[in-house]
Amino acid sequence: MHLLPVVPAPEDLSGAFVPNTYTFTWSNPEYYSDGSLFDDIEGIFFYFIRIEGQTELILKKINLDVTETYQVSRKSVPVGTTHFGVVIFTSMGEESKLIKNTLPK
């Protein structure tokens, strides 16, 4: 068990849209900020989000196995989605901060 309270966040979050398919990618960190191995990653929460001004609304949350990519058809993306995001969670139930990016067009 790791005692650091801060789970490292994913990096290099990006998305691409090729006719009718979105592909989202990111990099999972390998180490905690103290240099110890980040070896207790349990999975990924993927979010579709609508941001209007200061208001953020989670439209859909998907639980993924440990991965660095997610592909989905256009019709599976909730109407009104403006952004997408990723959170890493550990085997102890700790979560990283939500990293967001704009939904590609």
Q: Residue 93 sits in a domain of what CATH number?
A: 2.60.40.10
Domain presence at residue 4: no
Per DSSP, the three-state class of 36 is coil
Q: Which residues pair with 84 in a beta bridge?
A: 48, 101
- Report CA-CA distances (Å) from 14 to 23, 69, 103: 8, 10, 9
Domain presence at residue 5: no
Q: What's the rounded Cα separation, in Å, for the pair 3 and 5?
A: 6
Q: How many domains does the chain have?
A: 1
Dihedrals φ, ψ of 75, to 5°? -70, -15
Q: What is the dihedral of CA 90, 8, 17, 65, to 10 degrees?
A: -10
Residues of the domain holding 76: 11-102
Q: What's the rounded Cα separation, in Å, for the pair 37 and 93?
A: 17
Domain presence at residue 48: yes
Per-residue confidence in pLDDT tens, the chain, 105 aa: 545 458 999 999 999 999 999 999 999 999 998 889 999 999 999 999 999 999 999 999 999 999 999 999 999 999 999 999 999 999 999 999 999 999 998
Q: What is the pTM of this model?
A: 0.92
Domain presence at residue 54: yes
